Structure 1
Amino acid sequence: MTAVTEAQPAGAPAKAGPGRRRGLRLLAVLGGVFLMLVLLRVLTGEDAITSGGTFGAALALGVPIGMAALGGLWSERAGVVNIGLEGMMIFGTWGGAYGAFTTGNPWVGLVTGVLMGALGGLLHALATVTFGVDHIVSGVALNILAPGVARYLSTIFFEGKGVSANQSPRLPEFPVLGIPGVKEPLQDLEGRHWFLVSDLAGLVRGFTTDLSALTLLAVALLVGTYFVLWRTAFGLRIRSVGENPYAAESLGVKVMSMKYVAVLVSGALAGFGGVFLAMVASSQYQEGQTGGRGYIGLAAMIFGNWRPGGLAAGTGLFGYTDALQQRGAGGAIHALLLVLAIGLFAYAAWLLWQGRRPTTPAEAAAGPRRRLYQVLASVIVGVLLLVWYLGTDEIPKELVTYSPHITTLLVLSLASQRLRMPAADGVRYRRGEGH
């Protein structure tokens, strides 16, 4: 039988591929979210919602979470579940402080912290890839081990240096960069509070001025990860190992080596996030500094469906809500209740629209009832949030503090139905067993 394909007319524009369509869809969603924030700022008068300070703080607060999420992406794309991101970040915070303190050079601190995080990744790879330990057990063990090791090393190297054993002396700082000559004009334009124009000025100012060198490096690592994993033969090998290691093995891929490389890179990226916490978000190492950001990074990776673009969106969501609560913008967080309510109503409408599309027999048998439950849950929660917003003037301080966590979990739960993890993620691999 001969396959018949439809020829494309000469001169006709090329059809967008799946990757391009996905990118355009993501840009459209981000643009819609920004426009919603602009309208919310106008309706509520809360200028912090789209201020340059909020966007800049969101970017900085999102970096350590994003690096942990990026580390999880590398590991899990190779089929190794990495619950130990928190422990690797702890190694990174201590290593960055030790390297910077002993040499007085922040870049040495960065290298030391990254190597300490990679050491945590090596321990996880030894346990899971070589010895076949359950991935969750190994990760939890690493998270228990790391704080104890960091405390022991702090007692040896930091105690007696004018500080206690659970923190380091003040550390040298990384250079702060930005586009010269744009800060003052953008700040002046932002202060005029013109619809959309001032909001765009705040967005540009937050993303182009007073940025740590590590922030720019983190953005480069995000873009570089996408290019390496999705645009190179090496990245294809990494992803094939996470989907079907035995099929990859039959094609000559060195599965064990690929897993080791991916988990080492994972630890190094988590260590990078730890260095950022110790030397940019703060000016010294402190015990408990990670504050569960490794786990949040793991949630951001899952929210992003194991892809860099979605991962960045999840990280930005947490960073933005965290920035609002740290800047004391309680009124802005109260206004986000309205955004969440509108978002839930829009999600319910989208589910109803999806239900009108053709489905497979299996989806036709199971889909409508599940979709109905999702629509009802979205509408009910949206109505409750709307009533909460209309009936109150502010959110209790306790909820404001945990608003980033609550927002992340809410969005993650709504997105869970469309997630697809790598097929062999967490599967124990032994060379030759698949033959």
Structure 2
Amino acid sequence: MISSLENYAAIVGNEVIDHLRQLADRLKGMKVIHVNSTREGGGVAEILSWLVPFKQQLGLDAEWEVITGKKDFYQCTKNFHNGLQGAQVAMPDHLLATYEQTNRENAERLRSKLTDADFVFIHDPQPAPLLRSFPDRKGKWVWRCHIDLSRPYRAVWKYLRDFVVHYDASIWSLANFAQPLPHPLYLIAPSIDPLSQKNRDLDPQEVAAVFNTYNLNPDLPLITQVSRFDRFKDPLGVIEAYRLIKEFTPVQLVLAGGGASDDPEGEEVLREVREAAGDDPDVHILLLPADAHLEINALQRASAICLQKSTREGFGLTVTEAMWKGKPVIGGDTGGIRLQVVNHHTGFLVNTPEGAALRVRYLLKNRDRLEAMGQKARDLVLNNFLVTRHLREYLTLMYATMQETVERIEL
């Protein structure tokens, strides 16, 4: 269940909520549709699960639609995802044909809704070609990229750019992700819902219960990484870092995550992770269902330190979640993690397992520094990465897109 917007006033203040309602007054009744490729698994689905209901609370006619496809479609879009993050991937003609045909089929299924919408937000590469099937569309179409496109494999981006170039605007998480396009480009960083099951405050008993639930040792410091089982999240590097830590300091490691319906590589990566963990009793590989929000919340709160050792990262909501819970994060020096982990202040940025191990050992030996960094981490999220800021920027973008020929907009 999504909390009422008024409940957030206790966290961000009444003025913030009043400002949201003021912005939304100009947009009430407008039909807004978000389209992505999965309802569960990954940050995009998580964001849409609250973004759409909040728009409804503000008086917009908001909906969330999901495109569907078969195995070859998801294999193609996974290749796109990897290619956009820098990997050299194959682009066989039969997969590209499936990709375009699947989008045409979904366009027919969604035609009655999308044609008359005032705003359509298309998330990531999977549904990007939908626009071509709507030459007589009524409203504004915006492509939202959640991926690190700072150094894409050029062949993949060249192909996808032909679809994206015709949108009325695009949204990016960071400035260095944005690619040259002939329409307005907006920067909107993702965010978390502090009152959701995954982020709300927990009783100490709820936190302590995870040790029994997952057979963890309450006498050992807990190091946790929460993420999909994806090579860009570098779970094997996390296990290597854990082994380097354990040479000097007794610890236990949790790698917790799940799959996503649009990620065909998840099972293969999970198998590699389990093989790397072997029979070490202090390495816990948890394959959690998509709705295990309370369990993830408790695991992060029970942890001494959280990791997100990604080699590419569009943003990293798990970083935001851990920081909100007062945990310093040791993260990969890449993408959206840099926007959150202020090196030596809210955590540490690292490039290698050796670097991650060194920083974990340092914090475990300097508990005062660990707690101080955790408080700075929570403050950073409070001021920058909560849903109210995210929602305000979406509303502002919508109003600005409507007034595209006006040099100055008065609200």
- Relative contact order, higher structure (CA 8 A, sep 6+): 1
TM-score by length of structure 2 reads: 0.26
TM-score by length of structure 1 reads: 0.25
Larger of the two Rg values belongs to structure: 1
Which has the larger strand fraction? 2
Which has the larger helix fraction? 1
